[in-house]
Chain A
Amino acid sequence: MRRTASRRLLLLLLAVLLAPFWVPLARRFYQESPLSEGRLRSALTACAQKPTSEAAFLCYREAVREAARAKGARWAAGACARVGDPLCFEAFAQEAPNDTWCAYAREHGWFPYKACLVATCRK
Chain B
Amino acid sequence: MKKAYLPYLLVLAASVLGSSASAQPYPLEADDRRFAELANEGRYAEAYALAESAPERFAHWYAYLLFHTVPPKGTYSVGEATVRAAEHACRYREVNLEAAAYCYRTLALILRWKDQDPRIAQALPGAKLPSLSPSEVDQGLQALAEKGVSLAVYYRNPSKTEVLEGLVRERPYSLGGQLAAGALANHLWERGNRGGEMVRYALLAPGVSSWAGGVLSWAEYFGQGVKQNREAACSRAAFWAPRSASGPALLTLALCYWEGAAGFPKDPIEAYGILWYGKDVSGAPDFRTYLAQLEKVLRPEQQMEGRRRAANRFP
Chain A positions near chain B (C-beta within 8 angstroms): 48-53, 56, 84-87, 106, 110-111, 113, 117-118
Determine if A86 and B307 form an interchain contact, defined as CB atoms under 8 angstroms apart: yes
Is there an interface contact between A85 and B304, defined as CB atoms closer than 8 Å?
A: yes
Q: Is B301 an interface residue (CB 8 A)?
A: yes
Chain B min CB distance to A80 (Å): 12
Extra inter-chain contacts (9) besides given A56-B300, A110-B315, A111-B312, CB under 8 Å: A48-B301, A50-B300, A52-B292, A53-B276, A53-B291, A53-B295, A56-B303, A86-B307, A86-B308
Q: Are A110 and B119 in contact (CB under 8 A)?
A: yes
Complex CA–CA separation, A117 to B114 (angstroms): 13
- Evaluate contact between A86 and B295: CB separation under 8 angstroms: no
| B66, CB-defined interface residue at 8 Å | no
Closest-CB distance, A62 to chain B (whole angstroms): 17
**Interface of chain A, main secondary structure:** helix
Q: Is B304 a contact of A87 with CB atoms below 8 Å?
A: yes
Interface size on B, residues (CB 8 A): 19
CB distance from A49 to the nearest CB of B (A): 5
CB contact between A117 and one of B116, B300, B311 (< 8 Å): that residue: B116
A28 to chain B, nearest CB (A): 33
Residues of chain A within 8 A (CB-CB) of B291 are 53
Q: Does B307 contact A85, Cβ atoms closer than 8 Å? A: yes
What residues of chain A lie closer than 8 Å to B315, measured between beta carbons?
110
| Interface residue SS majority, chain B | helix
CB atoms of A84 and B300 under 8 A apart: no
Contact A111 B116 (CB under 8 A): no
Closest 5 A-B residue pairs measured CB to CB?
A86-B311, A111-B311, A86-B307, A52-B295, A85-B304
Select from chain A the residue with minimum beta-carbon distance to B314. Answer: A111
B118 at interface, CB cutoff 8 A = yes
- Contact partners of B117 in chain A: CB under 8 A: 117
Chain B residues numbered 282-302 whose CB sits less than 8 Å from any CB in chain A? 291-292, 295, 300-301
| Chain A contacts for B100, CB-based, 8 A | none
Give Cα distance in the complex from A56 to B307, angstroms. Answer: 12
| Closest residue on chain B to residue A121 by CB atoms | B116
Which B residue sits closest to A87, measured CB to CB?
B307
**Residues A106 and B312 in contact, CB atoms below 8 Å apart:** no
- Binary CB contact string for chain B from 240 to 284 against chain A (1 if under 8 A, 0 otherwise): 000000000000000000000000000000000000100010000
Question: In the assembled complex, which residues on chain B have CB atoms less than 8 Å from the CB atom of A85?
Answer: 304, 307-308
- The docked-state distance in angstroms from the alpha carbon of A118 to that of B291 is 22
Which residues of chain A have C-beta atoms less than 8 A from B295's C-beta?
Answer: 51-53
Give the complex CA separation of A51 and B312 in angstroms: 23
Instruction: Please measure, in the bound complex, the distance between the C-alpha atom of A21 and the C-alpha atom of B216, giving whole angstroms.
Output: 68
* Nearest Cβ on chain B to A78's Cβ, whole angstroms: 17
Cα of A87 to Cα of B279 in the assembled complex, Å: 13
Residue of B nearest to A106 (CB): B118
Chain B residue numbers with a CB within 8 Å of A51 are 295, 300
Closest CB-CB distance, A93 to chain B, in whole Å?
11
CB distance from A107 to the nearest CB of B (A): 11
The reply to whether A53 and B307 form a contact with Cβ atoms under 8 Å apart is: yes
Measured in the bound complex, the distance between the Cα atoms of B312 and A56 in whole Å is 20
List the A side residues contacting B300 at CB < 8 Å. 48-51, 56
Bound form: Cα–Cα A105–B291 in Å? 26
Cross-chain pairs A/B with CB under 8 angstroms, 8 sampled:
A48-B301, A48-B304, A53-B291, A56-B300, A84-B304, A110-B118, A110-B119, A111-B312
Point out the residues of chain A lying under 8 angstroms from B303, CB to CB. Answer: 53, 56
Q: How far is the CA of A111 from the CA of B309 in the complex (A)?
A: 11
Bound-complex Cα distance A51 to B303 (A) = 9
Which B116-159 residues have C-beta < 8 A from chain A? 116-119
Is B183 among interface residues, defined by CB-CB distance under 8 A? no
Q: Which A residues touch B312, using CB under 8 A?
A: 111
Bound complex: CA A51 to CA B301 (Å):
9
Tell me if B310 counts as interface (CB < 8 A to partner A): yes
Shortest beta-carbon distance, A91 to chain B, in Å? 12
Nearest A-chain residue to B113, judged by Cβ? A117
